[in-house]
Chains A and B, each alone.
Chain A
C-alpha cells in the first residue's frame, strides 16, 4: 500500500484513516459479489480512464515538445527525438542562474519560515496563554488572504522602503506569506509529540528553549521536513511575487525568466520552452514524491491548506 503514489500512499500514512481503508476494501469485496457491482466497477474505471486521458493531454505536449527540435504547440511525436533542446537551454544565462536564484529564494524562504514557525508553535502548543487564541485566529485568517490582491500595496511598500529588487526583502515577504500555514502545520505536528519527556527535562531544570532544541525538534523531524518541503515547493512555483518585486535579470528566479524567455523566443522555440519548463518542474515533482514518502503526501498538503 505504501508503494502506491499519491492518494493511497498518503492515506496509509495517516493512522486514523487506516481503519477506513480496510473497511473500504471490505465494501469493495462485497460489491464484487453482486453482478451490478461488477458492471459499476467497469463503468467507473472507463469514465476515469477517459478523464485521465483528457487531463494527460496538456502534460504530454510538455514532454514530447521538449524532445522535439522542431516542436509546435500541438502534441505530435518527435521525428528525431533528441535532448538538443535541453542542451540548448542548459547555459548559465538561460537556465542555470535562474534555477540557482529559485533555489536561493525557496531555500531562504523555507529556512526563515521553518525557524519562525517552530519558535511560534512551541508556546502555542505547550502553554495555554491568553494570546494563543487571538494569535491562532489571526494565523488562520492570514491563510485566507488573497496574496495576489496584495501585490499592488506590497509593491508600494517595497518602493517606500527601497526594497525593490532586493533578494532579502523578497525572501522575507515570501516567508511572511507562507508563515500562517507553516505555523498551523507545525503546531499540529508539535501537538502530537508527547509532553511527558519535556516534563522530565523541566524537572531537571532545562529551560524551555533548551527542551525545544534537545527534545521536541529531534522528535518531530519528519514533520519539520514536511513543512520545509511544503514551503519550498510553494515558493519555487511562485511567479507573481518575484515578478513584481525583482527586476534585474541576474536576480530573477526560473518562474519569471521562463516567462520572459517565452516573450522573447516563445513563438519560435517551443521545444526549448518545454525543456526549460521541465527542468524547472522536476525538483518540485521529486520533492512532492519525497514528501509523500515522509508520510505527509498530497493528503497532508491538502490537509495543510484545510487547517
Chain B
C-alpha cells in the first residue's frame, strides 16, 4: 500500500480472490473484452489527448483570436518560446509561480496539515471534531465562493483590517500592498484540509507500539516525532507533496478573484498569464506556449507520481 488513503476505496492492492485464469490468448476475445473501454478511450482521446497535442502544435504557430492570423495561422517554429523568454513578464511569472508553490503548497499546506493532524491526535474529541469540520468546510466550498470569502477577509475594509483596528494597529490595503502574501495565505486556508486528511490517515496507521517503544527508550516528544513518526509516514509525505504541488499549480479562480493578477503583474502566476495573453490580448499562440510549459511541468510531476504509485498498478 503506497499510502494509507486508498484503503477507503476497497484496498486496491489487496489480492483478489479468483481472478480468471489466463487461458490461451485469442485475439478476437481480447478485442471483445476490451470493447467496454471504448467510450472512455474516445472521451479521453478527443478531449484530453487532443488538446495536449494541439497545444504542442499550436504553440509553434502565430494563431490569434482576431486579425489575419486568426483564420490561417502560420507555422513559426519556436518563435513563441523565444519571445516568451525575452518578455520580462514571463520570468517574473515563473518566479511568482514558484513562490506560490513553495510557500502555499510545499510549506504552508503540508506543514500546517501535518501539524493539525498531530495536534488532533492528542486533543480533546469535541475540539477535534469541530476544528476538522471547519477546516474541511473551507476545502469543500466551491472555489469561487472560497475566493470571495478570502477576498472579503483581506480587503481594505475587510475583516482583517477591522480586527487590526480593534487592536489599535493601523491596517494596510493587503490585496494591494502584499498581493502574493494574501493569495498564499488564502490558498493555505483553502487547501490545508486535504493534507490534514491524508496525514490523519497516515498517523492512524502508525502502530502505537513503535512510538511507545521509543518512549520507553527515552526518546522525548520531538525526537519521537522526527525520528520515528516522520520516517514511518514518509511515503504519505512524498505523495502528498506532489499532489498539493499539482493542485496548486492549477489554481486560477482564487488569484483571479482576489487580485486579478495585479496590481500590475505582481501576482500573475503562469495560469493567469496564459489566460491574459490568450484571451485578453488575443495572443493564442503565446498563451498556448505558456500552457504547454505548464503541461510539461505537470507531466514531470505526473511521472514522479506514477513511479511512486507503481506497485498499485502492477
Contacts and interface: CB of A to CB of B under 8 A. Distances in A.
Given A59-B149, A140-B309, A237-B143, A72 B131 contact: no
A157 B145 contact: no
A78 interface: no
A4 interface: yes
Given A55-B134, A152-B284, A195-B17, A303 B6 contact: yes
Interface centre among A37, A133, A173, A306 (most CB of B within 10 A): A306
Contacts of B58: 153, 156
B306 A41 contact: no
A166 to B, nearest CB: 13
A58 B290 CA distance: 33
Contact of B18 (A141, A149, A196): A196
A24 B204 contact: yes
Interface in A100-141: 112, 115-117, 119-120, 122-124, 126-131, 133, 135-141
Contact of B134 (A59, A152, A208): A59
Contacts of A233: 140
B194 A153 contact: no
B301 interface: yes
A117 B138 contact: no
Contact of A306 (B128, B137, B211, B239): B239
A133 B313 contact: yes
Contacts of B82: none
B114 interface: no
Given A189-B10, A259-B257, A153 B54 contact: yes
B34 A145 contact: no
Interface stretch (B88-96, B224-232, B291-299): B291-299
B145 A57 contact: no
B77 interface: no
Contact of A48 (B48, B120, B194): B120
B43 interface: yes
A69 interface: no
Contact of B20 (A14, A127, A238): A127
Given A55-B138, A156-B288, A48 B116 contact: yes
Contacts of A152: 55, 274-275, 278-279, 284, 287-288, 290-291
Interface in B47-71: 47-48, 50-52, 54-55, 58, 63
Interface residues of A, number: 137
Interface string A216-256: 00000001000000000100111110001000000000010
Contacts of A16: 7, 11
A65 B130 CA distance: 22
Q: Considering the complex of A and B, which 5 residue pairs feature the smallest CB-CB distances, nearest first?
A: A144-B302, A192-B10, A149-B294, A176-B47, A237-B142
B265 interface: no
Contact of B189 (A55, A72, A192): A55
A135 B239 CA distance: 21
B19 A195 contact: yes
A238 to B, nearest CB: 8
B129 A305 contact: no
A187 B298 CA distance: 24
Contacts of B138: 55, 58-59
Contacts, number: 401
B7 A17 contact: yes
B83 to A, nearest CB: 16
Contact of A58 (B19, B144, B149): B149
Contact of A148 (B145, B257, B271): B271
Given A51-B112, A55-B134, 20 more contacts: A10-B197, A41-B122, A49-B131, A52-B134, A58-B152, A129-B34, A141-B306, A144-B301, A144-B306, A148-B249, A152-B291, A153-B288, A155-B278, A188-B6, A188-B11, A195-B16, A237-B142, A280-B142, A280-B145, A302-B5
B204 A11 contact: yes
Nearest to B112: A51
Interface string B105-122: 000000010001001111
Interface of A: 4-8, 10-11, 13-14, 16-17, 20-21, 23-24, 26-28, 30-31, 37, 40-41, 44-45, 47-49, 51-52, 55-59, 61-62, 65, 72-76, 112, 115-117, 119-120, 122-124, 126-131, 133, 135-157, 172-173, 175-177, 179-180, 183, 185, 187-189, 191-192, 194-196, 199, 208-209, 212, 223, 233, 236-240, 244, 255, 258-259, 262, 270, 273-274, 277-278, 280-281, 284-285, 288, 296-307
A41 to B, nearest CB: 6
A305 B243 contact: yes
A277 B148 contact: yes
A123 B37 contact: yes
Nearest to A187: B12
A130 B163 CA distance: 62
23 contacts: A7-B128, A8-B128, A8-B129, A14-B7, A27-B208, A31-B122, A44-B121, A48-B123, A55-B134, A55-B135, A123-B36, A144-B301, A146-B298, A148-B294, A157-B51, A194-B17, A208-B36, A255-B144, A259-B257, A302-B197, A302-B201, A304-B9, A306-B239
A10 B8 contact: yes
Interface in B204-255: 204-205, 207-208, 211-212, 221, 239-240, 243, 246, 249-253
Contacts of B72: none
Contacts of B295: 145-146, 149-150
A199 B21 CA distance: 12
